[in-house]
Structures are given as C-alpha cells and as structure tokens.
Homo-oligomer: A and B are copies of this chain.
Amino acid sequence: MLSHTTHPGNIGAAARAMKAMGLQHLYLVNPRHFPDAQASAMAAGADDVLQNAVVCASIDEALQGVVYTVGMTARLRDISIEMKTPREAMPLVLQQAATQPVALLFGTEMSGLTNEETGRSQLLVNIPANPDFSSLNLAAAVQVMAYELSVAAQSFVPSAQSLQPATHEQVEGYFAHLEKTLYEIGFFTTQNPARMMQRLRRLYARARLEPDEVNILRGILSVTTEYNGRLKTRFDEDQKHVQKH
C-alpha cells in the first residue's frame, strides 16, 4: 500500500519488486500521477500488478477489512507503537495474513508516513540503515520488505490463532465514537485533542482489539453519553427548580 506517491516511476518499480517476490495486491492512496507511462515503463513486465492496482481516495478506504497494518518508517521516533526490523516483523505479518488481510503501508517519498497514517498502524517497521544516509528509495524499501516476506513465507508454519482481531473500520469506528464522546463530556477542554487521540491510538494498537471488545468499549461510550445526558437534564431541572424558589 503506497500512500501519496509523488513519482509514478516508483509505483512501477514497486510493482516490479512485488511481482518478482510473488506479491500482487497493490493499493495506491492518492497517487500524484496514475496511471502513467513512467509507471508502466518501470514495471517492466509487472503490468498486471499495475492494472489490478486499487486506487483509493483515503487511507481509511484503502484499509477497509484490514486487520493488521504495518507502517514503514525511516525514523526511530519516540513513540510507543511497537517497532521492529523487517526480519522480526514478518512472522507476525504472516501469522495475521494466514486468516485475514494485512497491509504494508509505505508513506510519501519525501517525508514518509503522516501522524494520521502512523496512528492507523499496529506495528512500525524500520529497515536498519546507515545512520548518516538512511535514504532508501521507496521502491528499494518495497523490494526489501517483499523479499523478507517471501523468504519468511517459505519457512512459515501458522500457529493457532489466539486472537480474532477487529477490522480497520471497526477500530476506526471506535476511535470516532471515542473522540466524539470525549468532546461531549468536556474531556478536551483541558487536553490537546489531537495529541490525546494519538496516545489513545497507540494504547489500542498495542492491545489489538477484538470485535467483541470494540462492542464493549463502544457500549461504555454510549452509556457514558447517556449518563452525561441524564446528568445534564437533571442539572437543567435543578436549575429550574432553584430558579422557582
């Protein structure tokens, strides 16, 4: 999954790298130019991957149905989302992919993933590089990841799935509900909403929510709002009562 790719040549080269390693499902989130002659030229025979590429208008559209999103990063950021090397990550990716869709998410060439995209990842992967020159080309990063995935797949034996993870849209539905609720109850009057949501996303990314848990958490949110609504009604009534006397 390539997000906001600037150079169509990189899309073509990524398609070629994928196909050579036996991968085929390419998703493009808001590519600057696509389809494009340069993409086709760089694909060099992986035209089918380009032709079947799914172009999406947003990251959430692209992640529909995905249960495990791995975000690529060149920075060793100070955040609490789990970070692994490609080799460490692949058994986890394969374990999830054995039953449900997973995504490897590559950001734009110049600046990588946005905070919004990082917040939608359950795992971050950093390709170890020269500390003085960590500038991997986008297609080169795709090549390394596709290669590692392909090598890992050859010796992978799926273990019994202990977790039935919620899909991307279930988790995002919860976050939207949570944010709305936190606004309603006035939690954000003393907190930076964006920063707080980022921290809550990290917490739940580590937890890997199951669909039942999403339902429970959203149930709590609903009750919170109702309770808050009842409190508000009672307060309003009390005020009226006070005013009467």
Which A residues are within 8 Å of any B CB, using their own CB? 13, 16-17, 19-22, 44-46, 85, 87, 127-130, 133-137, 139-140, 143-144, 147, 150-151, 154
Contacts and interface: CB of A to CB of B under 8 A. Distances in A.
A245 B143 CA distance: 80
Contacts of A22: 129-130
A134 B45 CA distance: 10
B137 A17 contact: yes
Given A135-B45, A144-B147, A129 B87 contact: no
Contacts of A135: 16, 20, 44-45
A137 B13 contact: yes
Closest 7 pairs between A and B when the two form their complex, measured CB to CB: A22-B130, A140-B143, A19-B133, A20-B129, A20-B136, A144-B147, A143-B143
Given A17-B140, A20-B136, A144-B144, 9 more contacts: A16-B135, A17-B137, A20-B129, A20-B133, A21-B129, A128-B150, A129-B150, A136-B143, A139-B140
A231 to B, nearest CB: 57
